[in-house]
Amino acid sequence: MDHESLVRSPLVERAWTVHIRWIEPLLGSQPTSDLARDVVERKQLQKLIDELQASGMSAPAARAAAVQRLAAETARKRADDGEEDEEDELRITVFPADARGLHLWDYQFKGMLKAAAKATGARVAGRKAATTASAASEIQTKLWVFSATGDRVIPLTRDGKRIAAADDLLSRPIRAETPRGPVVTVTTSEVLYPPIEADLLVLGIRGGRITRDILTELLSFGAFEGMGQWRSSGLGRFLAEVTPVKG
């Protein structure tokens, strides 16, 4: 659905456009090795399910057996490869991208709003008089985030144009405790430097209790803790401007 159709939907009681402007470098958070592994394992799982069903197993039994077999095979392969190789592997996190440039996903912004609600203790009006409820659960069920054009893909822009590629790579050491003792690995992330912008369409579904004031409050938390990798160090911080378009 496009922007206008989403806003006009009878299920939508409130709608806002949100302009995000990052004030600190933003790091990519999509792990490349994990993404590749997930794709391969999903294909392997489906192949096993098909083979087991072809042998006469019911679909539920075939899925259960395939999951167990794949888990055992994965554990054996990692043991054969050795833990040290996996720990010493260079880990890289990147930005999602399509043919037009870099982007973020809708669920990343929704997750950010939920995290802000939990961190700030934001509350909404309760179902009963003189009561309140956590804003986090309300965000989960009654708030939806889209791009300005109504897509799940949230384009990252600079000077009004899609950002085609990351500006640089940023590496940092990470210390982890393992059965063999402390291990230091290097994590590398794609990085974008301001100016970086994104435009959102945020919809409040019928019966929801998120108001413009609450949404603005949650987004203002982005000036203190941002998005992306290493946000606890102050990276990924942003400012947001909320404009009501319905309700």
12, pLDDT greater than 80: yes
Strands 91-94 and 181-192: parallel
> DSSP secondary-structure letter at 56?
T
Distance CA 62, CA 101 (A): 40
- Is 91 in contact with 186 (CB distance < 8 Å)? yes
Residue 74: phi, psi to the nearest 5? -65, -45
Q: What pLDDT shows up at residue 37?
A: 58
Strands 153-155 and 157-158: unpaired
- Is 110 in contact with 139 (CB distance < 8 Å)? yes
Q: What pLDDT shows up at residue 84?
A: 40
DSSP state string for 125-159: E-SSTT-EEEHHHHHHHHEEEEETTS-SEEE-EET
Token duo for residue 30:
């999509």
H/E segment holding residue 205? strand 197-205
Distance CA 78, CA 23 (A): 41
Residue 172 C-beta-side C-alpha neighbours within 13 Å: 10
Distance CA 112, CA 242 (A): 16
- Pick from 13-22, 126-135, 165-174 the range whose average pLDDT is largest: 13-22
87, pLDDT greater than 70: no
**Between 224 and 132, whose confidence is greater?**
224
The confidence band for 79, taking pLDDT boundaries of 50, 70 and 90, is: low
> DSSP secondary-structure letter at 194?
S
